[in-house]
Every structure is written in C-alpha cells, then in structure tokens.
Amino acid sequence: YEVHEVLEDVWRTLAGERRVVVQGLIQIAVGFHHLRRGKPKSAVALFARGRAKLVAHDAAARGVDVAALLTDLGPWEAAAAAGEAWDESRALPRFVLRVADAGRFDV
C-alpha cells in the first residue's frame, strides 16, 4: 500500500501519457493490497487495468522495465484468478526504473 501512497503524490503532478503510466503502476500496487487482504477478484481487476495502461501507453519509453514487471506479475495474476490466497513464498515482481544517464534502479 505504501507504493500507492508514494506514487499517488507523483501522479498528481503529471499529465498525459506519463500520468496514465503512473496510474497503471498504482493500479498494480493496489491489486497487491487487495490480494493481501483476501480480495482476489479485486486484485484481478486492478492487475488487468494496470497491465493495459502500461502496455498501451509505452511505459518502457518512460523508463519502466515493463517486460520484467509484467512477466513477474503473471504468476500473481494467475493465482488471483484462481482465487488463491497471498503466498509469502512467491517472489514479488521486479519494479525497475531506467533513468537516462543515471544507470538502473531497482525499487
């Protein structure tokens, strides 16, 4: 849930495509919050909306490693769709930002 809080402050300052990309990241984060609280149907919906925004709005061009994030999200989406509970042993998705001339940051 903390990811949502931090990104929401950023989201408020943005416009256009950048705002949509950050909204997609927020939706995925909130999906995890719902899954952890035992609401897999809500998680499925939020994961799908977040995924659609990242793919449709070229988040990769905005410095987000979309391929890694969405690949890692896949098992969580499948588990939520199957109605499974939160699984502490399942690795969380990598959230990697690439910043021009500043290297790579894993968040």
pLDDT digits (tens, 9 = 90+) for 51-66: 999 988 766 666 778 8
Dist CA 25 CA 20 (whole Å): 9
The pTM for the full model equals 0.82
Sequence-ordered alpha helix ranges (H) in 2-105: 2-11, 16-36, 40-56, 66-81
Residue 7 has pLDDT above 90, yes or no: no
Q: Tell me, what's the pLDDT at 59?
A: 66
